[in-house]
Amino acid sequence: MTTQADNLLTHPWFFCGIGGSGMLPLALILRGQGARVAGSDRSRDQGRTPEKFAWLEAQGFDLFAQDGSGVTSADQVLIASAAIEDTVPEVVRAKALGCARMSRAELLSRLFNAAALGVAVGGTSGKSTVTGMIGWILTHAGRDPTIMNGAVMKNFVAPDAPFASARVGQGDAFVAEVDESDGSIALYTPAVAVLNNVSLDHKSMAELRELFGDFLARAPRSVLNADDAESLALLPRAAVATTFGLSEAAQVSVVTGSIVESPTALTATVLDRRTGAQHPLSLQVPGRHNLSNALAALAAAEAAGVSLAEGVAALGGFVGLARRFDIVGTSPSGVTVIDDFGHNPEKVAATLATLKAHPGRVIAFFQPHGYGPLRQMGAELAEVLATRLDRDDLTILCDPVYFGGTVDRSVGSERIVALIEQHGGKAEHIAERKACGDRILALARPGDRVVIMGARDDTLSAFANDLLAALP
DSSP output for 304-318 = TT--HHHHHHHHTT-
pLDDT for position 373: 78
What single-letter amino acid sits at 168?
V
Closest CA to 18 of 80, 68, 76: 80
How far is Cα of residue 377 from the mean position of the Cα atoms in its chain?
18
Helix orientation angle between 345-356 and 288-303, rounded to the nearest 10 degrees: 120
> What is d(CA 67, CA 89) in angstroms, rounded to the nearest whole number?
5
Identify whether the C-beta of residue 71 lies closer than 8 Å to the C-beta of residue 78: yes
pLDDT for position 5: 54
pLDDT tens per residue, range 4-13: 555 777 889 9
pLDDT tens per residue, range 189-233: 999 999 999 976 667 788 889 999 999 999 999 999 999 999 999
pLDDT for position 406: 63
- Is this prediction's pTM over 0.75? yes
Low-confidence ranges of the chain (pLDDT < 50): 1-3
